[in-house]
Structure formats: structure tokens, C-alpha cells
Amino acid sequence: MALNLNIPDLQDDPIFIAETRPQKINKALADLKTETAMDMATYLHAELETLNQQKVSASSRLQALDSYRPHLMRTTLALAESYRKSALPLHDEAHLAATTAGALWLELGYGYKHALVDLQNQLIKLGADKNSAHAIQYAMHAIAEHALVYYQTYVTPPEHIWSDFHQLYFCAVQLDIQNISVQHAYMATEKNIDPNLASACLVNSIENTYKHALLMSLAEPQHLIQQDIRLIAEYLAHYIHHTQISAVTALDNTSGAFVIDLSSNKPPTPYNKQNSQPNPLTDILFQTIDLVRTMHLDLSQLQRNQLPKNGSIPADANREDYAELLTYLIKHWGITPHRIFNRSLKNGDVDLVVGISAIWQASEQGVIKTNNADNHPISDFSSIPSSPATSSRWKTLNISATGILMRRHHTAEKNIRIGDLIGIKGKGEPHWSIGIIRWANCGNRDRLDIGVQFIAPQAHGAIATMSGGSQDKRVLLLSEIVAIKQATTIIAPRGTYEPARQLTLTYNNKIKQIMLTRLVERSHYAERIQYSIVG
């Protein structure tokens, strides 16, 4: 088949000649004196870029790439430490690390794609299928890891990523090599780099690598924190065989069914969101319902305080985190969420503060200012040292009944994380509306868009003292909203909730004893909890 992959042109007379002999490459790497991952990345990128500009035989190219690959994987793992927990938009160091990691995977992918093109252009193809499987598998893995860098930095992957994925998979199907297990000596090296790397032992065929990439996209990683994105990649490796790719056909039940247009540069789309019937000449069907059923079993085990026996969830994992993550994935890979409310355009500016403490401070500044005029202060929180909350300016783009889309002003703080609790207040508004950041999308020049779900029109700051504890915590009180059947709740730092736990609340110069009754929602930073008054 004619491949139209995203690869750089080869030079007829390159200035520098790339080394392709594995022994020489390994010796040069062993003798290299580098102090940081960035130093190693600079060297690897230069060598791969030189190789990708040069005409060499497919076999020599594969040998050279396989020699660089373990070192590249080790280096990108080290680089990821700088950005996988970073707030948004990325600070300079994190941005440089992510850009460098992406560039390494891009060059490695270029190399394997060049090798595949050369193999397909050979007149005599003796043994070419085995080498083609090798080239396709590792090209797809490099593209998948490149996409993962985009996911973990909340940047939309470029369209050529999906065009390459689809072409590589279709090429493998035409050669009937999509299910060949790609196992060779380099796999053992891969396992030693990181035992949790999905590609190291489980996702070892082209079709499995392709399905893994499809599921990562369908997980909508812009809604997840960076650490969870990598956890999903590792978890998936154990269950990828529970998904199926087939020809398109009419379905009675479209849950867990997605359509892939192999001629496009787009990710898969839910079957029930197709504007027209799938085209059997270009489209294929991807079904995940068996995977979802298996994940339900894992979720049930976690809820019984047990772990799956196949090692899909590490023994030292936070089981509550995994239970929440599986619940999220079941929704995205099983039943496609539907939008309940329509958006409407709204242009304007708002002030934004991030986190329980900042909202607490901002709310109390307004309360104290308002009530001092009446000589009637309503709160005394002097027991906790504090400083004035600093707000940032954001632009509103559109709004719905339950949420708002906002864009960062270039002067705003770089302190945004998925799952953060935020306070929003427009000009002239008396209170800070409370919301949770549900998704993010980054662009050039520190552009950052965030989607926020409203959970309350305002909050009141209070102090919570744990039963038997000595440390006070700032919490927020959210009033009951009868119209949407939302009970009175408190928002407290993560780790506060335990069933029937008792707290002492100080608010409005009154002290109340409460019992925590139900965990409404937990993010990585806060918990929303229903409670009842004791006594």
C-alpha cells in the first residue's frame, strides 16, 4: 500500500554521517559523560536527527534505532518527573522537559517509519514481514508515547498522530501481521527500564498497541490529572485483549462501540454520535463492552478491599484512587456521556482564586469588610495565621447552566490543576461562586482554557476541629440548593472524610458538633461531604 506518513525527507548528501553499528553506538553511549537527563536527551536527539536525514538500509536503521531506544526510554522517564505533576500552564523547566521528551519520541518514530517505508519499497521482500512488524510496532509505540506527552501537558495532539496510527495499523492488516507477537532481545532490556511500562511485556502486538492508543484517547485525558493518565496506560496493558476490532455492522446496543475512519486523521468517535452510517470501505468498529465488564469486576474487588490477582493494580496503590479512576473509565469506555445543557457565548472578565484556603480567605475578606461597617463582625478565625488571598484575572468564553469555559489572562498565576476547587467572582458580584476544574487545554504562549463545573453560588468559611485532634482546618460550608436536590455540605481537605467521623465547626461565632455522613465527591485535593448536626 502507498504510505503517506509524517516523516522528514532524506538528504542525498548529508553533512554528517550517522553511526549505525550497534557496537559503536553502545560504546559511545557508555563513554558519554552526562550529568542530567537533559544532557542525554540533547545527545540522543542529535544522533537520531542525523540518522533520520540519511539513507541507510532498513536493517541497519532498525539496529541503530533499537540501540538508542532503551536509553531514550530511560531519559524520557526522567524528563517526565519535571512535568507530570506540574501546575498549568507549565513553568519554564517543565515546559522544556515536556518539549524535549516529545521531540525524542518524534525522532524515534520518524526512524521506524522510515524503515517501514524502505521495507515496503523493496522488490525482494524475503523476511520483510517480520521486520515490518518490528518497525510498525515500535513506530506505533513511539507515536503513542509522543501522544502521552501531549496528554500529560493538556495539549491537543497534532492531527498527523492519528493519520499515522491508522495508516500503520491498516498496513499491518494488509500484511496480515497485526497479531504477530513482537518479541526479541530488546524486550528484556525494556523491562529493566521500568517494570510498569505497558509496552515492556503485555502490549506486544501491533493490534494491541493500536487498541491501547484508541482507549487512551477515549479516556479523554484532558479531564484527568497527569499521574492518572500514566496509571491508565499501565492498567490497560493487562486488559487490552478484552477489546475487539472488527468490520462495521449494525448494532442493537451501541454502548461501548466506537467507529474509526482509517482514511482520516481523527481519533475514534462513539457509534451513537455518528451523523451518518459508517462506511464499510474505510471504517472499522472498536468495541469495549467486554473490557468494561472486566473493569466492573476489578471495581467490585476494590470495594471489598481486595486487589485483582493479575497485578493490574499494584499492591501499594491507593485503592480509593483506583476505584474512582475505574468508575471514571467505565463511564467513558462504556456509556458515552451526553451534554445536558447547551452553552451560550459570554464575553467578560472574572477574578479567580484556587484552593480551599484561598476561597476561604477571599470570602472572609469580603465578609469582614462588609460587617465591620456595621460594627458586627461575624467570624473570629484569628487562631489560624493567614495572608490576603490573591486573585487572578480570567476571561469568560461561554457558559451553561452548570459550568463555564474560561481562558487565562497572560498575567494570571500558573497554578491550575485538574480537580482543583476554585472561586469565581465577576465585576459587581457580591459572592464568590464555587466550582471544580473538570478539564484543561493548553496552547502556545501559555494559553490555557479550563472547563469549570459550578457546585454552589457561594461558600462560607469555617474552622473544623477533628475529634481528638489538635490541628484546626479551614473548610467551606455550602448551603442546601433545593432546586437541584443538593444537600448542605462542607468542603474539606482530602483525607478528612471517614464514616461517622465527628468534627467541631466554628462559624459565625457559633460552635456546632457535626457527624460526617456521606462522601459526595473526592478529588485529589478536596472532599465534598454531607453531614448532620449532633445534639
336 pLDDT higher than 80: no
One-character DSSP codes across 71-98: HHHHHHHHHHTTTTT--BSPPHHHHHHH
Q: How far apart are CA 528 and CA 492, in angstroms?
A: 7
Domain annotation covers residue 259: yes
Domain annotation covers residue 16: no
* Domain match, 101 and 158 both: yes
Choose the final residue of a domain: 430, 456, 482.
456
Classify residue 314 by burial, with Cβ atoms within 10 Å: 0-12, 13-18, 19+: middle
Q: How many domains does the chain have?
A: 4
Q: Which of 232-236, 258-262, 382-386, 503-507 has the lowest mean pLDDT?
A: 382-386
pLDDT band per the 50, 70, 90 thresholds, residue 411:
very high
pLDDT value at residue 112: 98
CATH assignment at residue 494 = 2.40.10
26 pLDDT higher than 70: yes
Reported as a single tens digit per residue, the pLDDT across 28-57 is 999 998 889 999 999 999 999 999 999 999
* Residue-range definition of the domain harbouring residue 494: 460-533
Q: With beta carbons less than 8 A apart as the criterion, state whether 98 and 40 touch.
A: no
Reported as a single tens digit per residue, the pLDDT across 115-127 is 999 999 987 776 6
Domain annotation covers residue 137: yes
Most confident of 114-128, 185-199, 365-379: 114-128
* Domain match, 282 and 169 both: no
Domain annotation covers residue 316: yes
Choose the final residue of a domain: 440, 456, 472.
456
Q: With beta carbons less than 8 A apart as the criterion, state whether 477 and 493 touch.
A: no
pLDDT value at residue 367: 41
* Domain match, 184 and 98 both: yes
Q: CA dist 467 to 498, 505, 522, Å?
A: 12, 11, 21
pLDDT value at residue 272: 87
Choose the final residue of a domain: 431, 456, 481.
456
* Domain match, 374 and 427 both: yes
CATH assignment at residue 360 = 2.40.10.220
pLDDT value at residue 341: 60
pLDDT value at residue 14: 83
Q: What is the mean predicted confidence (pLDDT) over 307-330?
A: 91
pLDDT value at residue 282: 94
* Domain match, 446 and 464 both: no
370 pLDDT higher than 50: no
Q: Across the strands, what pairs with 404?
A: 399, 452
190 pLDDT higher than 90: no
pLDDT value at residue 240: 94
Residue 270, C-beta contacts closer than 8 angstroms, at least 6 positions apart:
254, 257, 258, 259, 336
| % of the chain at pLDDT higher than 90 | 72
pLDDT band per the 50, 70, 90 thresholds, residue 153:
very high
pLDDT value at residue 207: 97
CB atoms within 10 A of CB 503: 24
Reported as a single tens digit per residue, the pLDDT across 498-513 is 999 999 999 988 999 9
Q: What is the mean predicted confidence (pLDDT) over 352-374?
A: 70
pLDDT value at residue 133: 96
pLDDT value at residue 200: 47
Domain annotation covers residue 504: yes
Reported as a single tens digit per residue, the pLDDT across 455-499 is 999 999 999 998 766 678 999 999 988 877 888 999 999 999 999
Q: How many alpha carbons lie under 13 Å from residue 413 in its C-beta half-sphere?
A: 15
CB atoms within 10 A of CB 432: 28
* Domain match, 279 and 354 both: no
Q: How far apart are CA 446 and CA 414, in angstroms?
A: 9
* Residue from 528, 494, 500, 499 nearest 513 by CA: 500
* Residue from 178, 116, 101, 93 nearest 147 by CA: 101
365 pLDDT higher than 70: no
Q: Which of 5-14, 123-132, 292-301, 311-320 has the lowest mean pLDDT?
A: 123-132
Please state, rounded to an integer, the average pLDDT across all residues of the chain.
Answer: 89
Domain annotation covers residue 250: yes
Q: With beta carbons less than 8 A apart as the criterion, state whether 23 and 12 touch.
A: no
515 pLDDT higher than 70: yes
pLDDT band per the 50, 70, 90 thresholds, residue 187:
very low
* Domain match, 499 and 433 both: no
369 pLDDT higher than 50: no
CATH assignment at residue 166 = 1.20.190
Q: How far apart are CA 13 and CA 53, in angstroms?
A: 9
* Residue from 185, 180, 232, 188 nearest 204 by CA: 180
Q: What is the mean predicted confidence (pLDDT) over 224-240?
A: 92
* Domain match, 411 and 318 both: no
Q: How many alpha carbons lie under 13 Å from residue 36 in its C-beta half-sphere?
A: 8
Q: With beta carbons less than 8 A apart as the criterion, state whether 162 and 220 touch.
A: no
Q: What is the mean predicted confidence (pLDDT) over 384-408?
A: 86
Domain annotation covers residue 261: yes
178 pLDDT higher than 60: yes
Q: How far apart are CA 416 and CA 403, in angstroms?
A: 17
Q: Which of 126-135, 148-157, 206-215, 336-345 has the lowest mean pLDDT?
A: 336-345
pLDDT value at residue 273: 87
374 pLDDT higher than 50: no
* Domain match, 452 and 464 both: no
172 pLDDT higher than 80: yes
> Peptide bond before 8: cis, by omega within 30 degrees of 0?
no
Q: How far apart are CA 136 and CA 172, in angstroms?
A: 7
Q: How many alpha carbons lie under 13 Å from residue 474 in its C-beta half-sphere?
A: 21
92 pLDDT higher than 90: yes
pLDDT value at residue 470: 62
* Domain match, 388 and 258 both: no
Most confident of 56-70, 181-195, 296-310, 333-347: 56-70
* Domain match, 155 and 294 both: no
* Domain match, 61 and 210 both: yes
Domain annotation covers residue 339: no
Q: Across the strands, what pairs with 472?
A: 465
